[in-house]
């Protein structure tokens, strides 16, 4: 990148132009074993098609319904929804980490339980008069392994996320 060190700039001619902005509000829901919800706002410069950090600018403006035809909201909806999607993932990080921790905890519990079952099957029982054959033990070990895989798949399904991103309001100014 090139930088102008110690440069001076002088505006030769200035002009006032009107630029429209779309401020979108989205209801965002991430649902898994638990749910996370938020209302996220983004402002899009309609001329450039880029998000702008205008903050609470609408709090300083008296809003009135407009009868004039504004810009098509579809022009900024795609940009706004992509920005809100990434912002929602950033804001939901603590929630996502908690869900991942619970999933890891449940996986470890299942693995430990089925390891204990495997050890129990492999250890001969002194109370029985006939010891199980090697084929019976191997079959029981395979059944335990398959059941563990099935339970882990159920956990993955139970902790899978559904995400909803719904535009709920639009203000043009």
C-alpha closest to that of 83 among 162, 18, 160, 23:
23
Looking at residues 22-51, what average pLDDT do you find?
92
CA-CA-CA-CA dihedral for 127, 133, 136, 137, to nearest 10: 70
Residue with tokens 């619970």: 102
CA–CA gap between residue 20 and residue 1 (Å, rounded): 31
pLDDT at 151 over 90: yes
Per the structure block, which two tokens stand in for 95?
């929630």
Looking at residues 56-79, what average pLDDT do you find?
71
Q: What is the pLDDT of residue 125?
A: 72
Which stretch of 54-63, 104-113, 129-138, 155-164 has the lowest confidence by average pLDDT? 54-63
The secondary structure element, H or E, covering residue 77 is helix 74-91
CA–CA gap between residue 151 and residue 106 (Å, rounded): 10
Place 25 in a pLDDT band, splitting at 50, 70 and 90.
very high
Positive/negative CA dihedral, 128, 134, 136, 139: positive
Average pLDDT, the chain: 86
Per the structure block, which two tokens stand in for 171?
């203000």
**C-beta separation of 134 from 122 below 8 A:** no
Q: What is the pLDDT of residue 57?
A: 67
CA–CA gap between residue 58 and residue 30 (Å, rounded): 28
Positive/negative CA dihedral, 48, 49, 52, 58: positive
Q: What is the pLDDT of residue 67?
A: 57
Higher-confidence residue: 116 or 173? 116
Per the structure block, which two tokens stand in for 77?
């909806």
* pTM of the predicted structure, to 2 decimals: 0.72
What is the CA angle 124-127-131, rounded to 5?
40
């Amino acid at each position: 990148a090139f930088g102008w060190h110690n440069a001076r700039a002088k505006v030769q001619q200035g002009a006032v132009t009107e630029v429209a902005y779309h401020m979108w509000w989205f209801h965002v829901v991430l649902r898994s074993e638990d749910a996370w919800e938020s209302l996220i706002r983004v402002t899009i410069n309609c001329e450039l098609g880029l998000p702008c950090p205008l903050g609470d600018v609408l709090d300083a403006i008296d809003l009135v319904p407009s009868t004039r035809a504004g810009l098509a909201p579809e022009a900024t909806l795609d940009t706004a929804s992509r920005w809100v999607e990434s912002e929602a993932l950033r804001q939901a990080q603590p929630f996502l980490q908690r869900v991942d921790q619970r999933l890891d905890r449940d996986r470890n519990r299942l693995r430990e339980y089925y390891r204990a079952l495997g050890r129990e099957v492999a250890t001969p029982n002194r109370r029985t008069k006939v010891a199980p054959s090697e084929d019976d033990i191997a079959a029981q070990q395979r059944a335990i392994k398959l059941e563990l895989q099935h339970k882990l798949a159920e956990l993955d399904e139970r902790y899978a996320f559904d995400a909803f991103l719904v535009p709920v309001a639009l203000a043009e100014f």
